[in-house]
């Protein structure tokens, strides 16, 4: 049973516009959520995180929103840049040591 | 320095071979992890070491044998693998076992023939 789901395998956005990546989870015990970005032939790179006690965290062009009642989080990238083209993984912590990843969303930024 | 390094980048091995994957970090992190990632799938946790002791084994077959010689190094010894073990093997580290953010290496692409 998949506890972290990213229902959109791919997303295409025009350069300069907002990219919104979505993630749903089923385990109400998750208390920390992270977004990772992955380029081909590289390991995932930590992007931004949010604790379950918050509903928003912002870092430059990246903002993560958490809706605990809906068990939903989203990553907003604005403005989108060509270098943002990558696979984005949502992850949740089941205990501090164990990350559970979603399936990933491939983001393509078009010039 | 926020880098986790892994060697080799690529490895091809037969089912009777013995090989090892190596991971190194110099961030002073005390927790290290092995993940396996198949094509178009998310990374899946295999092992966790905390303060050089194995703390989590996700029911991984014994043909995979982890080792943590010191706080900076993590090895994964491979023996009698199957073709279905072909995957990207990722190493990660975090400040300690209570830290949520994990930092990943580039991975070793393993092919078992």
Q: Cα B8 to the chain's mean position, in Å? A: 12
| CB spacing of B106 vs A43 below 8 angstroms | yes
Contacts of A96 in chain B (CB under 8 A): 97-100
pLDDT tens digits, one per residue of B51-82? 999 999 999 999 999 999 999 999 999 999 99
Please state, rounded to an integer, the average pLDDT across all residues of chain A.
94
DSSP type of residue B109: E
Answer whether B107 touches A (CB < 8 Å).
yes
Q: What share of chain B is helix, strand, coil (3-state, %, to 5)?
A: 5, 55, 40
Residue A52 to residues A5, A15, B49, Cα–Cα distance (Å): 17, 31, 26
- Which residue of B40, B97, B101 is in closest CB contact with A34? B101
- Tell me whether B99 touches chain A (CB under 8 Å): yes
Q: What is the mean pLDDT of residues A43-55?
A: 94
Distance from CA of B15 to the nearest CA of A (A): 24
Low-confidence ranges of chain B (pLDDT < 50): none
pLDDT of residue B1: 54
SS3 string, B38-67, reads CCCCCCEEEEEEECCEEEEECCCCCCEEEE
Question: Ranked by mean pLDDT, which of A73-77, A91-95, B16-20 comes out on top?
Answer: A73-77
Mutate to test the interface with A, among B3, B9, B43 (most CBs of A within 10 A): B43
pLDDT of A42: 84
Residue B92 contacts by C-beta under 8 Å, 6 or more apart in sequence?
A43, B4, B32, B33, B35, B102, B103, B104, B105
User: Count of A–B CB contacts within 8 Å?
Assistant: 59
pLDDT band at A100 (very low <50, low <70, confident <90, very high): very high
């Amino acid at each position: 049973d998949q506890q972290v789901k990213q229902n959109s395998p791919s997303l295409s956005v025009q350069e300069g516009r907002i990219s919104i990546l979505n993630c749903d989870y089923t385990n109400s015990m998750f208390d920390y959520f992270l977004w990772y970005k992955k380029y081909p032939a590289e390991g995932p790179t930590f992007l931004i995180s949010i604790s379950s006690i918050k509903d928003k965290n912002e870092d430059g062009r990246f903002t993560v929103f958490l809706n605990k009642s809906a068990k939903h989080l989203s990553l907003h990238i604005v403005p989108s840049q060509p270098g943002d083209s990558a696979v984005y993984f949502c992850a949740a912590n089941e205990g501090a040591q164990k990350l559970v990843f979603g399936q990933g969303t491939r983001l393509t930024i078009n010039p | 320095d926020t880098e986790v390094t892994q060697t080799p980048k690529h490895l091809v091995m037969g089912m009777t071979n013995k090989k090892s994957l190596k991971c190194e970090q110099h961030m002073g992190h005390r927790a290290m992890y092995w993940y396996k990632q198949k094509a178009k799938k998310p990374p899946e946790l295999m092992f966790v070491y905390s303060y050089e002791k194995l703390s989590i084994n996700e029911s991984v077959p014994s043909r995979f044998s982890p080792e943590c010689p010191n706080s900076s190094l993590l090895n994964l010894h491979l023996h009698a693998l199957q073709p279905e073990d072909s995957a990207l093997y990722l190493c990660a580290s975090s400040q300690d076992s209570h830290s949520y953010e994990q930092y990943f290496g580039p991975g070793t692409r393993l092919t078992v023939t």
